Amino acid sequence: MQSTPDLSRLLNELETLASFSDAPAPAVTRVVFSAQDLAARAYLHRLFSEAALELRTDAVGNTFARWVGGDSSLAPVATGSHTDAVPHAGRYDGTIGVLGGLEAIRALQRGGFRPRRSIELLVFTSEEPTRFGIGCLGSRLISGALSPEGARRLKDRDGKSLEEILRQAGFDKSLEDVRLADKFYHGFVELHIEQGPLLERKGIPVGIVTAIAAPATLRVRIEGSGGHAGAVLMPERRDAFVAAAEIALAVESAAKATRSADSVATTGVCNVFPGAVNSIPSRAVLEIDVRDIDLARRDAMLSAIRAACGATAAKRQVAVEIELINADAPAQASPLITQTLSASCRALGIEFMPMVSRAYHDSLFLSRIAPTGMIFIPCRNGVSHRPDEYASPADINRGVQVLASALAQLAQ
Protein backbone atom coordinates (compact mmCIF):
# COMPACT_ATOMS: atom_id res chain seq x y z
CA MET A 1 0.00 0.00 0.00
CA GLN A 2 1.47 3.32 -1.15
CA SER A 3 0.94 5.84 1.66
CA THR A 4 3.50 8.63 1.74
CA PRO A 5 2.73 11.32 4.32
CA ASP A 6 2.71 14.94 3.18
CA LEU A 7 5.18 15.99 5.85
CA SER A 8 5.37 19.71 5.08
CA ARG A 9 1.58 20.00 5.20
CA LEU A 10 1.51 18.16 8.53
CA LEU A 11 4.26 20.37 10.01
CA ASN A 12 2.37 23.49 8.86
CA GLU A 13 -0.80 22.22 10.49
CA LEU A 14 1.07 21.48 13.74
CA GLU A 15 2.37 25.04 13.65
CA THR A 16 -1.08 26.48 13.04
CA LEU A 17 -2.57 24.39 15.82
CA ALA A 18 0.18 25.62 18.18
CA SER A 19 -0.89 29.20 17.45
CA PHE A 20 -4.18 28.58 19.28
CA SER A 21 -2.60 29.30 22.63
CA ASP A 22 -2.97 31.47 25.70
CA ALA A 23 0.82 31.62 26.10
CA PRO A 24 3.26 33.32 23.70
CA ALA A 25 5.16 30.98 21.31
CA PRO A 26 6.97 28.67 21.63
CA ALA A 27 4.87 27.89 24.73
CA VAL A 28 1.42 26.44 24.22
CA THR A 29 -1.35 26.77 26.81
CA ARG A 30 -4.68 25.38 25.62
CA VAL A 31 -7.03 24.54 28.45
CA VAL A 32 -10.17 22.61 27.57
CA PHE A 33 -13.15 24.78 26.51
CA SER A 34 -11.12 28.00 26.67
CA ALA A 35 -11.64 30.33 23.70
CA GLN A 36 -8.38 29.04 22.20
CA ASP A 37 -9.46 25.42 22.60
CA LEU A 38 -12.79 26.15 20.89
CA ALA A 39 -11.01 27.96 18.04
CA ALA A 40 -8.59 25.03 17.66
CA ARG A 41 -11.55 22.64 17.47
CA ALA A 42 -13.13 24.73 14.71
CA TYR A 43 -9.82 24.65 12.79
CA LEU A 44 -9.60 20.86 13.15
CA HIS A 45 -13.21 20.35 12.08
CA ARG A 46 -12.44 22.28 8.91
CA LEU A 47 -9.44 20.03 8.19
CA PHE A 48 -11.51 16.89 8.86
CA SER A 49 -14.27 18.07 6.52
CA GLU A 50 -11.74 18.89 3.80
CA ALA A 51 -10.61 15.25 4.05
CA ALA A 52 -14.24 14.19 3.45
CA LEU A 53 -14.54 12.68 6.94
CA GLU A 54 -17.99 12.42 8.52
CA LEU A 55 -18.09 14.47 11.72
CA ARG A 56 -19.83 13.72 14.98
CA THR A 57 -19.40 15.40 18.36
CA ASP A 58 -20.71 13.88 21.58
CA ALA A 59 -22.05 15.53 24.72
CA VAL A 60 -18.63 16.05 26.33
CA GLY A 61 -17.10 17.38 23.12
CA ASN A 62 -15.23 14.27 21.96
CA THR A 63 -14.94 14.56 18.18
CA PHE A 64 -15.28 11.59 15.82
CA ALA A 65 -14.23 12.03 12.17
CA ARG A 66 -15.03 8.97 10.13
CA TRP A 67 -13.70 7.74 6.80
CA VAL A 68 -16.62 5.52 5.88
CA GLY A 69 -15.55 2.01 4.92
CA GLY A 70 -17.03 -0.41 2.43
CA ASP A 71 -18.83 -2.56 5.01
CA SER A 72 -20.67 -0.53 7.63
CA SER A 73 -21.72 -3.73 9.45
CA LEU A 74 -18.13 -4.16 10.68
CA ALA A 75 -16.70 -2.49 13.78
CA PRO A 76 -14.55 0.52 12.77
CA VAL A 77 -10.86 0.91 13.36
CA ALA A 78 -9.89 4.02 15.31
CA THR A 79 -6.97 6.32 16.00
CA GLY A 80 -6.59 9.69 17.70
CA SER A 81 -5.43 11.57 20.78
CA HIS A 82 -6.00 14.98 22.40
CA THR A 83 -5.30 18.62 21.59
CA ASP A 84 -5.65 20.27 24.98
CA ALA A 85 -2.29 21.32 26.42
CA VAL A 86 -1.16 21.84 30.02
CA PRO A 87 -0.08 25.40 30.93
CA HIS A 88 3.21 26.40 29.32
CA ALA A 89 3.50 23.20 27.29
CA GLY A 90 4.84 22.40 23.82
CA ARG A 91 3.20 21.67 20.50
CA TYR A 92 3.55 17.89 20.07
CA ASP A 93 1.88 16.22 23.07
CA GLY A 94 -1.41 14.75 21.79
CA THR A 95 -1.46 16.83 18.62
CA ILE A 96 0.84 14.35 16.83
CA GLY A 97 -1.82 11.68 17.37
CA VAL A 98 -4.59 13.91 15.99
CA LEU A 99 -2.92 15.66 13.05
CA GLY A 100 -0.64 12.65 12.46
CA GLY A 101 -3.76 10.47 12.46
CA LEU A 102 -5.39 12.79 9.95
CA GLU A 103 -2.30 12.71 7.74
CA ALA A 104 -2.20 8.89 7.96
CA ILE A 105 -5.79 8.82 6.67
CA ARG A 106 -5.08 11.36 3.92
CA ALA A 107 -1.99 9.41 2.86
CA LEU A 108 -4.10 6.25 2.55
CA GLN A 109 -6.74 8.17 0.60
CA ARG A 110 -4.10 9.55 -1.79
CA GLY A 111 -2.68 6.05 -2.23
CA GLY A 112 -6.08 4.81 -3.40
CA PHE A 113 -6.73 2.58 -0.38
CA ARG A 114 -10.37 1.57 0.10
CA PRO A 115 -11.02 0.57 3.72
CA ARG A 116 -13.45 -2.28 4.34
CA ARG A 117 -13.94 -1.16 7.95
CA SER A 118 -14.53 2.52 8.59
CA ILE A 119 -11.51 4.36 9.99
CA GLU A 120 -12.40 6.85 12.71
CA LEU A 121 -10.21 9.68 13.99
CA LEU A 122 -10.97 10.69 17.58
CA VAL A 123 -10.11 13.90 19.39
CA PHE A 124 -10.69 13.30 23.09
CA THR A 125 -11.86 16.07 25.39
CA SER A 126 -9.56 17.07 28.24
CA GLU A 127 -6.92 14.39 28.37
CA GLU A 128 -5.10 16.85 30.62
CA PRO A 129 -6.40 17.32 34.18
CA THR A 130 -5.72 21.08 34.23
CA ARG A 131 -9.29 22.33 34.36
CA PHE A 132 -11.31 19.63 36.11
CA GLY A 133 -8.58 17.95 38.18
CA ILE A 134 -9.03 14.61 36.42
CA GLY A 135 -7.27 13.45 33.26
CA CYS A 136 -8.79 11.64 30.25
CA LEU A 137 -12.25 13.07 30.84
CA GLY A 138 -13.56 12.23 27.36
CA SER A 139 -12.11 8.73 27.15
CA ARG A 140 -13.17 7.93 30.74
CA LEU A 141 -16.78 8.68 29.77
CA ILE A 142 -16.48 6.77 26.49
CA SER A 143 -15.25 3.68 28.33
CA GLY A 144 -17.60 3.94 31.30
CA ALA A 145 -14.71 4.44 33.74
CA LEU A 146 -16.46 7.69 34.69
CA SER A 147 -20.24 7.73 35.00
CA PRO A 148 -22.39 10.61 33.74
CA GLU A 149 -23.30 11.35 37.41
CA GLY A 150 -19.59 11.47 38.29
CA ALA A 151 -19.01 13.86 35.39
CA ARG A 152 -21.91 16.06 36.55
CA ARG A 153 -20.20 16.49 39.92
CA LEU A 154 -17.04 17.90 38.32
CA LYS A 155 -16.28 21.57 38.76
CA ASP A 156 -13.42 23.69 37.51
CA ARG A 157 -11.20 25.81 39.76
CA ASP A 158 -13.71 28.68 39.61
CA GLY A 159 -16.49 26.40 40.85
CA LYS A 160 -18.23 26.21 37.46
CA SER A 161 -19.76 22.83 36.73
CA LEU A 162 -18.76 20.79 33.70
CA GLU A 163 -22.37 20.82 32.50
CA GLU A 164 -22.55 24.61 32.66
CA ILE A 165 -19.25 24.92 30.79
CA LEU A 166 -20.44 22.43 28.15
CA ARG A 167 -23.69 24.34 27.67
CA GLN A 168 -21.81 27.61 27.23
CA ALA A 169 -19.50 25.94 24.71
CA GLY A 170 -22.54 24.80 22.72
CA PHE A 171 -22.65 21.12 23.70
CA ASP A 172 -26.20 20.31 24.74
CA LYS A 173 -26.51 16.54 24.22
CA SER A 174 -26.97 13.99 27.00
CA LEU A 175 -23.87 12.75 28.85
CA GLU A 176 -25.65 9.37 29.05
CA ASP A 177 -24.97 8.89 25.33
CA VAL A 178 -21.17 9.32 25.48
CA ARG A 179 -20.46 5.72 26.56
CA LEU A 180 -19.58 3.41 23.67
CA ALA A 181 -20.35 -0.29 23.73
CA ASP A 182 -17.64 -2.82 24.51
CA LYS A 183 -15.90 -3.90 21.27
CA PHE A 184 -17.29 -0.78 19.58
CA TYR A 185 -13.95 -0.56 17.76
CA HIS A 186 -12.12 -3.43 16.09
CA GLY A 187 -8.92 -1.77 17.26
CA PHE A 188 -7.56 1.55 18.53
CA VAL A 189 -4.03 2.85 17.85
CA GLU A 190 -2.68 6.09 19.33
CA LEU A 191 0.43 7.82 17.97
CA HIS A 192 2.23 9.91 20.61
CA ILE A 193 5.63 11.33 21.50
CA GLU A 194 7.39 9.18 24.09
CA GLN A 195 7.65 12.00 26.67
CA GLY A 196 10.75 10.21 27.99
CA PRO A 197 14.35 9.72 26.81
CA LEU A 198 14.63 5.99 26.08
CA LEU A 199 14.09 5.90 22.31
CA GLU A 200 16.48 8.80 21.75
CA ARG A 201 19.13 7.28 24.02
CA LYS A 202 18.93 3.94 22.27
CA GLY A 203 18.76 5.52 18.80
CA ILE A 204 15.56 3.58 17.97
CA PRO A 205 12.90 5.53 16.06
CA VAL A 206 9.73 3.73 17.15
CA GLY A 207 8.44 2.34 20.43
CA ILE A 208 5.55 -0.12 20.53
CA VAL A 209 3.79 0.31 23.84
CA THR A 210 3.09 -2.90 25.74
CA ALA A 211 1.55 -1.41 28.91
CA ILE A 212 0.54 1.93 30.42
CA ALA A 213 1.41 2.71 34.05
CA ALA A 214 -1.31 3.05 36.69
CA PRO A 215 -2.00 6.69 37.60
CA ALA A 216 -3.66 8.05 40.74
CA THR A 217 -4.45 11.56 41.92
CA LEU A 218 -5.09 12.87 45.42
CA ARG A 219 -6.38 16.26 46.49
CA VAL A 220 -5.35 17.15 50.03
CA ARG A 221 -6.99 20.06 51.87
CA ILE A 222 -5.19 21.40 54.93
CA GLU A 223 -6.95 23.71 57.33
CA GLY A 224 -4.77 25.49 59.87
CA SER A 225 -5.03 28.84 61.50
CA GLY A 226 -4.25 32.19 59.88
CA GLY A 227 -3.15 35.42 61.48
CA HIS A 228 -0.65 38.21 61.52
CA ALA A 229 2.82 37.21 60.32
CA GLY A 230 4.44 39.55 62.81
CA ALA A 231 2.25 39.07 65.84
CA VAL A 232 1.52 35.34 66.15
CA LEU A 233 4.40 33.67 68.01
CA MET A 234 6.02 30.60 66.49
CA PRO A 235 4.96 28.07 69.18
CA GLU A 236 1.32 29.06 68.62
CA ARG A 237 1.25 28.61 64.86
CA ARG A 238 -0.81 26.12 62.89
CA ASP A 239 0.53 27.11 59.48
CA ALA A 240 -1.30 25.24 56.70
CA PHE A 241 1.43 25.80 54.11
CA VAL A 242 4.22 24.44 56.29
CA ALA A 243 2.07 21.35 56.91
CA ALA A 244 1.55 21.09 53.14
CA ALA A 245 5.30 21.35 52.57
CA GLU A 246 5.88 18.50 55.01
CA ILE A 247 3.33 16.39 53.12
CA ALA A 248 4.99 17.21 49.78
CA LEU A 249 8.31 15.95 51.16
CA ALA A 250 6.54 12.77 52.29
CA VAL A 251 5.16 12.34 48.75
CA GLU A 252 8.70 12.41 47.38
CA SER A 253 9.90 9.98 50.06
CA ALA A 254 7.03 7.57 49.33
CA ALA A 255 8.25 7.20 45.73
CA LYS A 256 11.95 7.06 46.59
CA ALA A 257 11.35 4.45 49.30
CA THR A 258 10.23 1.82 46.78
CA ARG A 259 13.72 1.95 45.18
CA SER A 260 12.09 1.28 41.83
CA ALA A 261 12.57 3.63 38.87
CA ASP A 262 8.96 2.86 37.95
CA SER A 263 7.58 4.56 41.08
CA VAL A 264 6.96 8.31 40.67
CA ALA A 265 5.07 10.80 42.81
CA THR A 266 4.65 14.54 42.26
CA THR A 267 3.00 17.38 44.14
CA GLY A 268 2.15 19.54 41.13
CA VAL A 269 -0.32 21.97 42.71
CA CYS A 270 -0.10 23.89 45.97
CA ASN A 271 -2.63 26.67 46.48
CA VAL A 272 -2.20 28.77 49.59
CA PHE A 273 -4.86 30.97 51.19
CA PRO A 274 -5.00 33.91 51.70
CA GLY A 275 -1.68 34.32 49.84
CA ALA A 276 -0.26 37.46 51.42
CA VAL A 277 3.34 37.79 52.54
CA ASN A 278 2.38 39.09 55.97
CA SER A 279 -0.44 36.61 56.61
CA ILE A 280 0.05 33.11 58.00
CA PRO A 281 -1.46 30.59 55.54
CA SER A 282 -4.71 29.28 57.01
CA ARG A 283 -5.51 26.90 54.18
CA ALA A 284 -3.54 24.94 51.58
CA VAL A 285 -4.68 22.59 48.86
CA LEU A 286 -2.30 20.09 47.27
CA GLU A 287 -2.83 17.99 44.17
CA ILE A 288 -0.64 14.90 44.10
CA ASP A 289 0.06 12.58 41.18
CA VAL A 290 1.24 9.02 41.97
CA ARG A 291 2.10 6.36 39.35
CA ASP A 292 3.66 2.97 38.99
CA ILE A 293 3.69 0.09 36.55
CA ASP A 294 2.96 -2.17 39.52
CA LEU A 295 -0.52 -1.59 40.95
CA ALA A 296 0.28 -2.94 44.45
CA ARG A 297 3.34 -0.70 44.70
CA ARG A 298 1.33 2.31 43.49
CA ASP A 299 -1.28 1.61 46.15
CA ALA A 300 1.43 1.20 48.81
CA MET A 301 2.67 4.72 47.93
CA LEU A 302 -0.88 6.04 48.35
CA SER A 303 -1.07 4.39 51.79
CA ALA A 304 2.29 5.89 52.80
CA ILE A 305 1.09 9.36 51.74
CA ARG A 306 -2.15 8.93 53.71
CA ALA A 307 -0.15 7.91 56.78
CA ALA A 308 2.10 10.95 56.38
CA CYS A 309 -0.97 13.21 56.17
CA GLY A 310 -2.24 11.74 59.44
CA ALA A 311 1.12 12.24 61.13
CA THR A 312 1.37 15.86 59.97
CA ALA A 313 -2.19 16.59 61.09
CA ALA A 314 -1.40 15.33 64.59
CA LYS A 315 2.01 16.97 64.85
CA ARG A 316 0.93 20.38 63.55
CA GLN A 317 -2.63 20.47 64.86
CA VAL A 318 -4.12 21.04 61.43
CA ALA A 319 -7.13 19.36 59.82
CA VAL A 320 -6.17 17.28 56.77
CA GLU A 321 -8.81 15.98 54.39
CA ILE A 322 -7.79 13.60 51.59
CA GLU A 323 -9.87 13.19 48.44
CA LEU A 324 -9.00 10.39 46.03
CA ILE A 325 -9.71 11.83 42.57
CA ASN A 326 -8.76 8.73 40.60
CA ALA A 327 -6.83 5.49 41.06
CA ASP A 328 -6.74 3.67 37.76
CA ALA A 329 -5.44 0.24 36.93
CA PRO A 330 -2.61 -0.12 34.42
CA ALA A 331 -3.51 -1.14 30.86
CA GLN A 332 -2.01 -3.89 28.74
CA ALA A 333 -1.74 -3.42 25.00
CA SER A 334 -3.58 -5.94 22.84
CA PRO A 335 -1.49 -8.53 20.96
CA LEU A 336 -3.63 -7.80 17.87
CA ILE A 337 -2.35 -4.22 17.85
CA THR A 338 1.26 -4.86 18.96
CA GLN A 339 1.61 -7.58 16.31
CA THR A 340 0.07 -5.34 13.65
CA LEU A 341 2.47 -2.53 14.61
CA SER A 342 5.51 -4.84 14.60
CA ALA A 343 4.52 -6.14 11.16
CA SER A 344 4.12 -2.55 9.90
CA CYS A 345 7.56 -1.55 11.20
CA ARG A 346 9.15 -4.64 9.60
CA ALA A 347 7.42 -3.98 6.27
CA LEU A 348 8.62 -0.37 6.34
CA GLY A 349 12.15 -1.32 7.46
CA ILE A 350 11.81 0.75 10.64
CA GLU A 351 13.59 -0.42 13.77
CA PHE A 352 11.37 -0.59 16.87
CA MET A 353 11.39 -1.68 20.48
CA PRO A 354 8.67 -2.66 22.95
CA MET A 355 8.26 -0.24 25.84
CA VAL A 356 6.09 0.78 28.75
CA SER A 357 4.31 4.13 28.82
CA ARG A 358 4.93 5.95 32.07
CA ALA A 359 2.65 8.79 31.01
CA TYR A 360 -1.06 8.09 30.77
CA HIS A 361 -3.03 8.48 27.59
CA ASP A 362 -6.59 8.12 26.35
CA SER A 363 -5.46 4.61 25.32
CA LEU A 364 -5.54 3.71 29.03
CA PHE A 365 -9.35 3.91 28.83
CA LEU A 366 -9.91 2.89 25.19
CA SER A 367 -8.21 -0.39 26.12
CA ARG A 368 -11.31 -1.17 28.21
CA ILE A 369 -13.58 -1.23 25.16
CA ALA A 370 -11.28 -2.15 22.27
CA PRO A 371 -8.01 -3.92 21.47
CA THR A 372 -5.61 -1.01 21.94
CA GLY A 373 -1.98 -0.14 21.36
CA MET A 374 0.30 2.86 20.94
CA ILE A 375 3.15 4.00 18.72
CA PHE A 376 5.79 6.15 20.41
CA ILE A 377 8.22 8.39 18.57
CA PRO A 378 11.27 10.03 20.20
CA CYS A 379 11.18 13.55 21.59
CA ARG A 380 14.33 15.59 22.11
CA ASN A 381 16.00 14.95 25.48
CA GLY A 382 12.80 13.20 26.55
CA VAL A 383 11.27 16.61 27.25
CA SER A 384 7.48 17.09 27.39
CA HIS A 385 5.01 19.43 29.11
CA ARG A 386 7.53 22.19 28.35
CA PRO A 387 7.78 24.77 25.54
CA ASP A 388 11.01 23.16 24.26
CA GLU A 389 9.22 19.86 23.58
CA TYR A 390 10.36 18.75 20.10
CA ALA A 391 9.95 15.82 17.74
CA SER A 392 11.95 15.77 14.51
CA PRO A 393 10.22 15.78 11.11
CA ALA A 394 11.89 12.46 10.26
CA ASP A 395 10.55 10.83 13.43
CA ILE A 396 7.08 12.27 12.89
CA ASN A 397 7.15 10.98 9.33
CA ARG A 398 8.06 7.46 10.47
CA GLY A 399 5.35 7.50 13.13
CA VAL A 400 2.70 8.49 10.59
CA GLN A 401 3.90 5.83 8.15
CA VAL A 402 3.66 3.11 10.80
CA LEU A 403 0.22 4.36 11.83
CA ALA A 404 -1.06 4.44 8.24
CA SER A 405 0.21 0.95 7.60
CA ALA A 406 -1.37 -0.39 10.80
CA LEU A 407 -4.73 1.30 10.10
CA ALA A 408 -4.74 -0.17 6.59
CA GLN A 409 -4.05 -3.67 7.89
CA LEU A 410 -6.69 -3.41 10.59
CA ALA A 411 -9.29 -1.93 8.22
CA GLN A 412 -8.88 -4.55 5.50
Sites of contact with ligand GLV (CB under 6 A): 128, 135, 359-360
360 binds, among Mn ion, ligand GLV, none (CB under 5 to 8 A by kind): ligand GLV
Q: Which is nearer to ligand GLV, 83 or 405 (CB)?
A: 83
Q: Which is nearer to ligand GLV, 119 or 288 (CB)?
A: 288
Residue 94 is a binding residue for Mn ion (CB under 5 A): yes
At its nearest, how many Å lie between ligand GLV and the CB of residue 172?
28
226 binds, among Mn ion, ligand GLV, none (CB under 5 to 8 A by kind): none
| CB-CB contact of 343 with 335 (8 Å) | no
By Cβ distance, which residue is nearest to ligand GLV?
Answer: 359
Angstrom distance (rounded) from CA 61 to CA 165 = 11
At its nearest, how many Å lie between ligand GLV and the CB of residue 114?
36
| CB-CB contact of 357 with 209 (8 Å) | yes
Angstrom distance (rounded) from CA 39 to CA 150 = 27
At its nearest, how many Å lie between ligand GLV and the CB of residue 139?
12
Residue 159 CB neighbours (<10 A): 7
| CB-CB contact of 45 with 88 (8 Å) | no
80 binds, among ligand GLV, Mn ion, none (CB under 5 to 8 A by kind): none
| Per-residue contact flags (x/-) with Mn ion for residues 225 to 254, judged by CB under 5 A | ------------------------------
At its nearest, how many Å lie between ligand GLV and the CB of residue 128?
6
Alpha helices in 19-124 (DSSP H): 35-50, 95-110
| CB-CB contact of 318 with 238 (8 Å) | yes
Angstrom distance (rounded) from CA 337 to CA 38 = 32
- The angle at the Cα of 196, spanning 193 to 202, to the nearest 5 degrees, equals 95
Residue 334 CB neighbours (<10 A): 17
Residue 54 CB neighbours (<10 A): 13
Angstrom distance (rounded) from CA 397 to CA 350 = 11
At its nearest, how many Å lie between ligand GLV and the CB of residue 326?
12
Q: Which is nearer to Mn ion, 13 or 93 (CB)?
A: 93
Dihedral (CA of 55, 58, 60, 65) sign: negative
Please select the residue that binds Mn ion; options are 37, 93, 163, 287, rule is CB under 5 A.
Answer: 93
Q: Which is nearer to Mn ion, 94 or 373 (CB)?
A: 94
Q: Which is nearer to ligand GLV, 69 or 207 (CB)?
A: 207
At its nearest, how many Å lie between ligand GLV and the CB of residue 69?
31
**Footprint of Mn ion on this chain (CB under 5 A)?**
93-94
